[in-house]
Amino acid sequence: MGKSGDGIEAKNANWKFNGEMVEHFEEHVAKSVPLYREGHELIVKLSDYFVKDDSVCYELGSSAGTLNYKLAQRHKFRENAKFIGVEIEQDMVKKANELYKGSNLSFICDDMNTITMEKADLIVSYYTIQFIHPKLRQQLIDKIYNTLNWGGAFIFYEKVRANDARFQDIISNLYMEYKLDQGYSAEEIIAKSKSLKGVLEPFSTQGNIDMLKRAGFVDILSVQKYMNFEGFLVIK
């Protein structure tokens, strides 16, 4: 066992989003994911094009609730709109409910793979589906497509692999340098990498696009990209 930075224990091939991670989550992820907060702001602005007065909106993998809260605040004048955060880790749901309150806002502890969702105008997944086992990923994207109303949007951010080995080497080294620049030690970076083995399984940009197309999506746009982190706006 080692430390992955920000006081978080990291066991080999056993990264978890519960326990002590909850208290350090926002600090850790904001330092580990380039343009993390900028991604939040872009998603909030994009939501203006899809959220209506009676919309149901989901965030899948809402963690400690920050993004779902920002979306709810953006549209708090829409009294009948609902913003529902779905999170499988009870510790995260407890923290979200402690931090954020709102009449149009809720957090539920459930599995996005099995939950039954209402028809929705907006579904957001912010660096979450990369943690879903690949054998379950396509059926989840299929469910998202079927849940969306026509004209609704899926905003989908993922860590991505490069399209060949040379580019992957370049991007991996750049990302390691990025984390060093954030103040993480080499030992912390290695510990985090080891803890994510078999837990975080990114697809390439094209792999994600192919998965979206298999579900039925046609209109797909990359809206944010920095190294191996990418956001897509997908409209049904």
| Residues β-bridged to residue 60 | 86
Q: Give the Cβ contact number of residue 26 at 10 Å.
A: 18
Q: Give the Cβ contact number of residue 128 at 10 Å.
A: 22
52 and 77 in contact (C-beta within 8 Å)? no
pLDDT value of position 19: 58
For strands 2-3 and 9-10, give the pairing.
Answer: antiparallel
Closest CA to 68 of 47, 90, 94, 38: 47
pLDDT value of position 5: 46
CA dist 203 and 127 (Å) reads 12
Helix (H) or strand (E) holding 188: helix 186-195
Per-residue pLDDT tens over the stretch 29-56: 888 899 999 999 999 999 999 999 999 9
List CB contacts of 114: < 8 A, sequence separation 6 or more: none
**What is the architecture of the domain spanning 2-235?**
3-Layer(aba) Sandwich (3.40)
Per-residue pLDDT tens over the stretch 18-29: 556 677 677 878
pLDDT mean for each 10 residues of the chain (236 residues): 45 50 76 94 98 98 96 95 96 94 95 97 97 96 98 98 96 94 88 78 96 98 97 98
pLDDT value of position 20: 61
What are the residue boundaries of the structural domains of the chain, listed by start?
2-235
CA dist 123 and 109 (Å) reads 17
